[in-house]
Amino acid sequence: MAESTAPTKTLSPLVSVLAILGLSMIWGYHWAVMKIGLGYAGAFTYSATRCLIGGPILLAIAKLQGRNLRIVSPKAAILVGIFQTAGNFGLGAVAVKFGEAGKSAVLTYTMPFWVLVIGYLVLKERAGPRRWIAASLAMVGTLLVALSGGRAELGPVLFALAAGISWGAGVLLYQWSSRTHRD
């Protein structure tokens, strides 16, 4: 994973709120743009193009900020990339291509729930009762969203949930790698 040597900057509360609102609008609207784009390209072609354009831009920005781009563990970086990027973006695009953009977005963003569950099952991480209550409520909401629309929508629902699970697994792999490969 790349390590950062750039100093951190604190934003004012107003700029922070504006940044969160702007990012939410961009991320939220992207699902509609993706639905349109998927009318002209396959799901994996769309996702690969998205990453091949965005990746170098993000690397250039990081370099301009003075960040160290050295990869400490190439194997960990590949695993995180497979789950957090390829799995999340590819499976999410399949869900949008064959299902509803809004439902796919909601189900893909169940990632925090999957981080909690996978972290508990695989890494034996413990969470307090408030997190499990929140996770239970999240699961009820997820089931309500997933099951609305009948059985005809089962495939896209499963792809969207798989995207969220893949994203969650990527987050946990990143956390594990960060702890394991500290200098």
pLDDT 10s digits, 22-70? 998 998 888 889 999 999 999 999 999 989 999 999 999 999 999 988 8
Alpha carbons 134 and 131: distance in angstroms, whole number: 5
Task: Please report how many Cα atoms fall inside a 13 Å half-sphere around the Cα of residue 176, on the Cβ side.
Answer: 18
What are the two backbone dihedrals, phi and then psi, of residue 9, each rounded to the nearest 5 degrees? -115, 140
Q: Residue 32 has which token pair? A: 């509609």
Alpha carbons 46 and 34: distance in angstroms, whole number: 8
What's the pTM? 0.82
Exposed e or buried b per residue across 43-77, where buried means at least 16 C-beta atoms within 10 angstroms of its C-beta? beebbbebbeeeeeeeeeeeeeeeeeeeebeeebb
DSSP code for 87: I
SS in 3 state form for 124-164? CCCCCHHHHHHHHHHHHHHHHHHHCCCHHHHHHHHHHHHHH
Does the pLDDT value for residue 90 go beyond 70? yes
pLDDT 10s digits, 130-177? 988 988 898 898 888 888 876 667 889 999 999 999 999 999 999 888
